Structures are given as structure tokens and as C-alpha cells.
Structure 1
């Protein structure tokens, strides 16, 4: 059986640089070769696939044909014990244990602190009037993650926050371990992060777990055999949770802010829905569930600009898709962005149209996958949805914002989509009561 069409690019580095720098890399090649093509990135022969059937094939064959994989830089920086690098029964066991920090009971306990941090930032932004928003949104999501996952206040202003930024910057890079490379700096950042996390964990283990953050829940958690997480595993898992609760969420929230500024009709409808809820009372999970139009907006934000663009896998057995062979050992990337741009699934796919989610049409399985799917669907999915929705509800009640002129709003794709010039905006308080 033939290999997919395509080119391996340059010797050794293949198409890695193009992949990292060109947000349209996969789209251009899909237009050239069709729904499946071969390339070489991060030193590995790689099959790129796109579409609902590709996602269905990849996500429903975990552990049979595929296992989760990441580029070498990501694997090294996440750490060997990270849930994202576990496979098979071990992955399922650890996932079940970590889920305790993201179940319904845990989420209810997070709402109050999440709202308090959001309010603090809204008050600060109202006073600033104009600013570059994306770095502020990164600080906001890290403060929420640090408080709810690790129990630290103002996390973005701590050593943990500064080292985390350095570490994040190298996650998807060429794994060249030299002091001046992005990867080399990130590796040093990881060491410093682990030292910080070890101090936090030891303090918590010696004290009385508060139960109000994920770390306390994980320290107390036991698997089916009654075993707790080791110190080293706690460090790797908490680092993963901080990343999952920060980078992708910042991207999603920034995209929401950008798209609402560009679509005042949608902004008006979101505001009109918020008029139904008492602005002076704390938000509750029950209220958030009743915001049906805001839910449609969030779904459309994640369709149009999914924070994670592709699903990474490695073929553990040779298999066939679309009439082509996928050899054992090759990397496989199934495109989330490309699927969400499929005009057969989403008419006028480039248009921001929350109404497309106004009815629960019987969507094809794996046609909407902003959080992945199958056995490895994003563990923090409901945490992310809660934070996005709470942030959105509060900001449209309290602030109006407009985009400043003369800025580049094109998105940098890696590691997560963000406006090239950082999203420069002007704020004013709303007249909404």
C-alpha cells in the first residue's frame, strides 16, 4: 500500500521550522495534497490527517493503533511521570485519580475564588483604560490556576510564575539543549519550578490539607490499591495541571475578547442575556448553566480558534487510512483546526456565528473536538469551561472594550494561538446595572 503524498522537507530538520512558524502550514499542504499527507517534523516522519473521519479513526483507536506522543522538547519539559505521557492502564488509573480535582464537587468549591480573582483584574483594567491585553490575560489565568490548583495567591508575581513563563516558552521548540536556546532556558526553568513545587508540597503535607485546591485533593487522593502519589509524581502532575489551566485557557479567553470586539452584534446579545441575572449577587454554577447564548458563543470561539490545533499520536502498529499506509513508529497528527474549518460540517466556516450551536443537531462523532476526545479527552475540560464562562459573564457586565487601531491581529499559532501584537485595547466601564 502506498505512503501518503507529500515531502519530508530538509535533511534532519524536515519541515519543523515551517510547522512552528507558519500558522497555515497544514492548511496549505492539505490544499496541495488532500486530507492526508506526509512530512517530517521534530525529527520524525509524520502523517498529517484532517476531518471528522480522521479524528474518529485516531481518537477511537488509542492503545490499538496509536499512543499519545509529544515532540521531544515537550516530553522532556513535562517530565516522565506526567499524565500526558502515560499510556494504557497506567494512564487510566492516574487519570481517574487526578479527576478528583476536576469533578463536580471540586468545581463548586472553585467558583468563589475564581470570581474574586476575576473581579480584582476587572477593577485593575478599568483604571488602566488602554493596554496590551494578552500578557495581562496570561497573568490572570496563572493567578486563577495557582490559587485553585496549588493554593498560592498572586501566583503571576511569584518566582513560580516567572519560572513558569520561561518553561512554557520552550515546550514546543527544537530540543537543542544549550543554555541560550529556548529549550535550554526552559529546561533550567523546569528545575527551578520543581524545586518551588517541592517546597509547596512538603509544606502542605506537613500541615493540614485545606481541601480547597487541587493539590490538597491530590495529596489526599488514593488509587484503587490505596496508594498515594509520590512526591516526584505530584510535582510532574501539578506542573501539567498548571500548564493545562493556563496556556490553552489564555488563548481561548483572548480569542473570546477579540471576536466579541469584532462582532458588536454578538456582544449586544451576550449583554442582553446578562441583564436577566442579578448583577449584585455572586455567580453560581446554576446561573452559569442558564446562560444558553453565552454557551453558544463559547462553543463557537473554540470551534473557530481551538487552543490546541492538532492531536499528537505515534503509530504502535501499522494501519491504513484513506487508502494509504501509516507505518509503525511514525508520528500522526490529526487536525482539530482543519476539522473545525470543514465547510461540509460547518457552512461558511470562517464566519463567527454562535447561532450554529443554537440547537443540538446530531453532530457526527468527533466533528467538534476542542478538548480532544476518546480515552484521553482533556481532563480539565469542565474547569476550563467554567473559567471561560465566568470570566465572560463578569467582563461583559462591567467593561466595554474596543480594539486600538494599527495593530497586527493575525494569530501566532505555536504553542497556542495569540494575536501577534498582543491585543491592544481601550476599556471603559459599562452603564449596565
Structure 2
């Protein structure tokens, strides 16, 4: 009897799945995209590729099928848009404001922070957190950027011109910066080993693995992989460290509450701001603070380390560009002069170089939104649960918006060219744009000014071109080996 019931349930599930596949095929089957298998969609083809090969394959689809590409795997369907006109319609509508279900894997680590939250809760928290990026607070972070960049420069010069993969080195720098600015903690990740830093690195690596490996999609199948125990341990270390810092800082702020009318001393970390209802306009619980701090830790170190890596690669590949940047830095910030916000503002050519690097190598190569109800967009009927993906990398490399897109031309940003403003979105756009983009640009300018003032950067292989891999953050498959020689 039990076997018969199980058979009926299994048969029912199969029929429901086939009905869904038929409906999906009828609604989006004619949208441009690679050929699909009726049952598996594009799964059988895409599972043959690693993240590097998959990146190349998606670019092939873009060139073959245009600015709208359909992909589907079993019960999931992605519509990849890379037209600024479509992007403008997507971000202008509250109907597409919810982050894609693809990001649910991050939930246990990041909680309902600003990256994953949606609806009224997201709008309330976004408004409350805006104060954390007031220009006076951002100005106070510049010394942190500079102090940690000094440590980075010493590490690079200690390599004595030997080739080094810059990405993991840049990642430790950004971890030191984001820890001090978000939690007020000096971890010295660039100098010594740290259990917490290892835990954050493990969480990032395993999370990205889960997003692109079918064994990681489900919590049940993930339990049987080699990564599960490492993930649980790293999550525990992260939670204990962050929670202890939050509790300690809350006690300290309560102890000094009677002196709140005195002038503020020192710089405020993001944690301080979250714990101060007079600054945010609302009282955050410890769990909410924990989630928001982890969100900034996650968003603020991998993306910036990716940007640093590719900016230095571009400077090494184009020595004339590097020389011009160096001359500007020396003119504005001679050796021995501390960097302040005015110095950063005056580095005009460096800003063009950073913008062009972010165009060629956007740290976040795509953004995704979920469809909460069946809808029609641009004449395409999309089922509930489908995903709209914004192909940032594809858009940044479209010759219609950026002529000769594979050439590194900082001057293309010198004057406002007659292009759609939504064609360049390294920090996303609309209401869900990156809240910390000014923070990131200040950090990038500061670290580039310090490194390029003291070091001449060269490629270990003059003909090297990085192979890219498709993860949540744009990364080189085999790293980028650079030489750093003293000037």
C-alpha cells in the first residue's frame, strides 16, 4: 500500500514537472537562446563547463543572439538583458525590485541585510543606512585607506620584483579596510594569520561554489559534500566574532550615553552608526546589526579586491597610462604628504583610468531580480519565479555604446559622450544601486595613489590576457601575476 502511494506521488510530481516544462516552452521557447532539451532545458550543455568556460559561452550567446538571451535549467528560467533601454525599464519599476532567488544561498550568512532584503523593510533600512555614507563620515575613512595602503606597499616592495598574484594580496588589504571601517576592529589581516579572516574567506569561496554547482543548490545535498563541515565551522566563527564585537561596542556606547552632547571624538564605524538611533532614526536589534555588518563585509571586500586587481593589471599592460597616472599623483601628492579628500578629488586622470577599468572588468558582472508574479516584459511573457538578469559585462562591451570596447581608453570618460546613462553601471543603478559606491571610489583612488607612487607595476608576461570566470564577483581564472619594483 505504501509503495503504491509513493508511486502515485512520484507520478504526480513527474506530471507536474512535465506540465511546467510545457508551459515554460510555450511561453519563452521562441525567445533567442541556445537550443533546449524539453526535459532538462540547457542543463546538459551548461553543466559541461567550468566557471571560466561558462563565462566565454555566455559571451558567445550574447554575440550570437543579441541583447536578450534565454536560458533555462529544469524549473529555473533566466532572461538575460543587456540593453540600457531594458535596464531602465527594469530598475524604474518596483515590480522587479526583489533580489533573485539565486541569492538565497547567502541568506544564512548575511541574513536580511540591505543586499537581500526587499519590500518596505528594505526601503526603511536603506533610508536609515544612507547616513552612514555622509561625506563627513567618508572623509574620516581616508586615513584608514592610507594606513592600510602603506602596509600593502611594504608587502609589495618586499617581493623584490618577483611575480606575485595580486588578487589574494588585494583581498587582505580590503579586509583590513572593511573591518576597521565597518566594525572599528584592527585585524591586521595583511600581517598575520587570523581565524576570522580565514572564516570569511571560506564562506565567500564556498558560497560561490554553491551558486554554480548543482550539489550546492539544495541544503540537503550540500550536507553530503566536503565543504559542509568547513562552512558550518566558518559560519560559527563569523557569528561569534561579529556578535562579540557588537555586544562589546553596545556596552561601551551605553556607558558613555551621558556624554552624548560632547563633540564626537575619532571616526564612527558603520557599527557605531547602526547602534546609534539618533543617527539612523530607528533602533536596530543586535540581529539586524549583525546582518547589516556582514552585508557590508561581504559586499565591501571581494568587489573592491577585484577592482584593485584589474586596475593594476590595466596600468601594467599600458605603461603610458601608468606613467601619466604617476605624474598626476606626484604633482598632487608628493612623497610624505598625507592623503585627504581634496587630494582624492584632484586625481582626475586616475579617476578616468578607474572608470575605464570598471567598464572593461566590472566587479559584479551581472545583477539578478526575481519575478514574483506572471508578467509580460518587452513582449515576453515570463512565469512566476523566473529571473531577470542584467548583463553588466555584456553591456559594457557592446560596441553600440562603447566603440572599440576591447581597447583600454580612459579618455572615453573625459567628456560626456552621447550614450544612454544606463549603459555604464559598475555600481548598478536605480533604487538598488550600490550604497557604498563613493566609499569604494575613495578607497580605490587612495590605494592606487599609494601603490603607483611607490611602485612601478609590470606584467610578469607581457602578452598575458586574463581568462575570466563567471562568479558573483568577476575574477581571473588563474590569477594575475605582476611585478612591483621600487621607483
User: How does the TM-score come out when normalised to structure 2?
Assistant: 0.82
Contact 2:103 2:116 in 1 (8 A): no
Taking the aligned partners of 2:184 and 2:224, their CA distance within structure 1 comes to 32
For 1:9-408, list aligned pairs within 5 A. Answer: 11=40, 14=43, 17=47, 18=49, 20-21=51-52, 22-40=54-72, 44-61=76-93, 63-71=94-102, 74-129=105-160, 130=162, 131-156=164-189, 157-172=193-208, 173=210, 174-175=216-217, 176-178=221-223, 180-182=225-227, 185-208=230-253, 211-221=267-277, 226-279=281-334, 280-405=336-461
Q: What is the CA deviation profile of residues 33-92 of structure 1, one whole-angstrom value per residue up to 9, with x for unaligned ones? A: 33212212595221111121221122112x224522241553334443221221122111
Any idea what SS the aligned residue of 1:333 has? strand
**Is residue 411 from structure 1 mapped to residue 447 from structure 2 by the alignment?**
no
Taking the aligned partners of 1:199 and 1:112, their CA distance within structure 2 comes to 26
Residues 1:83 and 1:187: Cα distance change in structure 2 (over 3 Å): farther
Compute the displacement of 1:362 (Å): 4.3
Any idea what SS the aligned residue of 1:147 has? helix
Taking the aligned partners of 1:246 and 1:278, their CA distance within structure 2 comes to 26
Residues 1:184 and 1:231: Cα distance change in structure 2 (over 3 Å): same
Taking the aligned partners of 1:182 and 1:139, their CA distance within structure 2 comes to 22
Contact 2:40 2:73 in 1 (8 A): no
Taking the aligned partners of 2:42 and 2:360, their CA distance within structure 1 comes to 30
Residues 1:132 and 1:75: Cα distance change in structure 2 (over 3 Å): closer
Contact 2:146 2:339 in 1 (8 A): yes
5+ residue gaps, structure 1, are none
Taking the aligned partners of 2:104 and 2:460, their CA distance within structure 1 comes to 36
**Is residue 425 from structure 1 mapped to residue 482 from structure 2 by the alignment?**
yes
Compute the displacement of 1:410 (Å): 1.6
Comparing 331-340 with 71-80, greater Cα deviation is found at: 71-80
Taking the aligned partners of 1:127 and 1:26, their CA distance within structure 2 comes to 40
Any idea what SS the aligned residue of 2:69 has? strand
- The CA RMSD over aligned residues, in Å, is 2.5
Taking the aligned partners of 2:198 and 2:239, their CA distance within structure 1 comes to 13
Taking the aligned partners of 1:65 and 1:427, their CA distance within structure 2 comes to 45
Taking the aligned partners of 2:292 and 2:317, their CA distance within structure 1 comes to 38
Contact 1:255 1:301 in 2 (8 A): yes
Taking the aligned partners of 2:338 and 2:381, their CA distance within structure 1 comes to 55
Q: What is the CA deviation profile of residues 259-298 of structure 1, one whole-angstrom value per residue up to 9, with x for unaligned ones? A: 1100111111111212321422111111111111111111
Q: What is the CA deviation profile of residues 120-148 of structure 1, one whole-angstrom value per residue up to 9, with x for unaligned ones? A: 11022112222222211111111111111
Taking the aligned partners of 2:224 and 2:131, their CA distance within structure 1 comes to 38
Taking the aligned partners of 2:108 and 2:41, their CA distance within structure 1 comes to 22
5+ residue gaps, structure 2, are 1-25, 211-215, 257-265
Contact 1:46 1:331 in 2 (8 A): yes
Any idea what SS the aligned residue of 1:166 has? helix
Contact 1:26 1:48 in 2 (8 A): no
Residues 1:343 and 1:165: Cα distance change in structure 2 (over 3 Å): same
Residues 1:362 and 1:120: Cα distance change in structure 2 (over 3 Å): same
Contact 1:40 1:46 in 2 (8 A): yes
